[in-house]
């Protein structure tokens, strides 16, 4: 929920907004929210594939443009429509849904470079918002209790979504130096949950038997899907440049979350975590990435003082409330009887022993 900010006050609302990634939950629903604002003249939603019929209906007067941001033709879309605000919400964290790691990196990194090049040429662009991730801080045993926006990871991300996001943030800083007249906002989101959004994390907690790392109990911050949308909407319609951690108040231990979801925890020895993750990924159950595996080891917690005091936003749901709403919305219940649970647990442990 918005609070009175002590930092910059909003400028006039944007006239023409372009949102990338509208075939996904956040991009599509953000386009729908912006299209419902009569003060915004035009909303363009860009993606390589069309949104679902239901999403297109909810997007209302927002115009879907089928385009690949890796293609320089995105410049014509931005210039031709007179776009003044760009919200880049297309970054993907899942290689499986992106056609593999190579395709994911191309869309994330090359796509962002082309998008920023287009924005640099477009004189009317005056605001760029980037949906980034707290994964840029990494996860490790030497991490501080809280990461604030000025901190860098003890161990730089070596690959995957976290590395992509760190590179993309660097490109945006370069863009800001070349176009100092454009306000740039970086939103580093923690993991989302909610009754409607589908992510690796929501699928993980829906497993009847949830593998964890033996001897570790990660600290987690979560963010409700509605709070994520509200933050993106505020960034798109207000002049609030800067880098902001976006997470709910409070922390859940991984073991607590599994119990609240009514699922069964199966601790797996650390050397076998990677093979078990690959097994689940190969079976198309949960698409674990290396940084997500490290997150399940060590967790990560960020400071949100800047979000509240400078950005002017306090999440409506706490971490616990967001998780409980996800559990209620998905109607998560133990789906296996005791005998089948014990058999499933033995299968996971046997796989960990063989693959380890």
pLDDT digits (tens, 9 = 90+) for 61-112: 999 999 999 999 999 999 999 999 999 999 987 765 656 667 888 899 999 9
Q: What was the pLDDT predicted at 268?
A: 83
CB atoms within 10 A of CB 47: 23
Output Rg (C-alpha) for the chain, integer angstroms. 20
**% of the chain exceeding 90 in pLDDT:** 65
* Cα(286)–Cα(173) distance, integer angstroms: 33
Token pair for residue 295? 């997150």
Q: Give pLDDT tens digits for 46-73.
A: 999 999 999 999 999 999 999 999 999 9
Q: Give pLDDT tens digits for 256-309.
A: 999 999 898 988 887 777 676 666 666 555 666 667 778 888 999 999 999 999
Listed by start position, the domains of the chain span 16-194+222-248+301-312
pLDDT band at 10 (very low <50, low <70, confident <90, very high): very low
pLDDT band at 142 (very low <50, low <70, confident <90, very high): confident
CATH 3.40.50.720 matches 16-194+222-248+301-312: yes
| Contacts of 330 by beta carbon, 8 Å cutoff, 6+ apart | 195, 202, 206
pTM of the model: 0.88
Virtual torsion, Cα 199, 87, 149, 291, nearest 10 deg: 30
Instruction: Report the first-to-last Cα separation within the chain, whole angstroms.
Output: 46
């Amino acid at each position: 929920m918005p609070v009175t900010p002590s930092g910059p006050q909003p400028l006039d609302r944007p006239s023409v907004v372009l949102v990338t990634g509208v075939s996904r939950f956040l991009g599509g629903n953000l386009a729908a929210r912006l299209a419902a604002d009569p003060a915004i003249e035009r909303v363009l939603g860009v993606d390589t594939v069309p949104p679902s019929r239901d999403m297109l209906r909810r997007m209302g007067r927002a115009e879907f443009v089928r385009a690949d941001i890796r293609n320089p033709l995105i410049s014509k879309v931005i210039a031709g429509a007179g776009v003044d605000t760009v919200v880049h919400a297309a970054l993907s964290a899942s290689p499986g849904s992106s056609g593999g790691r190579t395709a994911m990196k191309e869309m994330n990194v090359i796509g962002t470079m082309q998008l920023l090049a287009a924005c640099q040429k477009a004189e009317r662009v005056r605001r760029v918002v980037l949906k980034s991730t707290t994964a840029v801080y990494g996860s490790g045993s030497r991490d501080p209790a809280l990461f604030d926006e000025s901190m860098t990871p003890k161990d730089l991300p070596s690959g995957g979504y976290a590395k992509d996001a760190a590179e993309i943030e660097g490109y945006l800083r370069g863009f800001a130096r070349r176009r100092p007249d454009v306000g740039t906002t970086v939103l580093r989101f923690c993991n989302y949950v909610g009754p409607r959004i589908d992510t690796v994390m929501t699928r993980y907690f829906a497993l009847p038997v949830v593998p964890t790392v033996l001897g570790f109990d990660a600290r987690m911050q979560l963010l409700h899907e509605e709070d994520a949308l509200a933050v993106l909407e505020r960034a798109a319609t207000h002049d609030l440049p800067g880098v902001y951690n976006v997470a709910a108040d409070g922390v859940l231990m991984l073991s607590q979350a599994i119990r609240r979801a009514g699922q069964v925890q199966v601790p797996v020895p650390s050397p076998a975590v990677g093979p078990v993750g690959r097994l689940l990924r190969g079976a198309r159950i949960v698409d674990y990435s290396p940084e997500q595996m490290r997150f399940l080891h060590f967790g990560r917690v960020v400071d949100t003082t800047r979000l509240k005091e400078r950005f002017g936003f306090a999440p409506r749901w706490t971490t616990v409330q967001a998780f409980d709403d996800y559990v209620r919305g998905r109607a998560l219940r133990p789906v296996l009887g005791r005998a089948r649970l014990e058999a499933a647990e033995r299968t996971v442990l046997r796989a960990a022993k063989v693959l380890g």
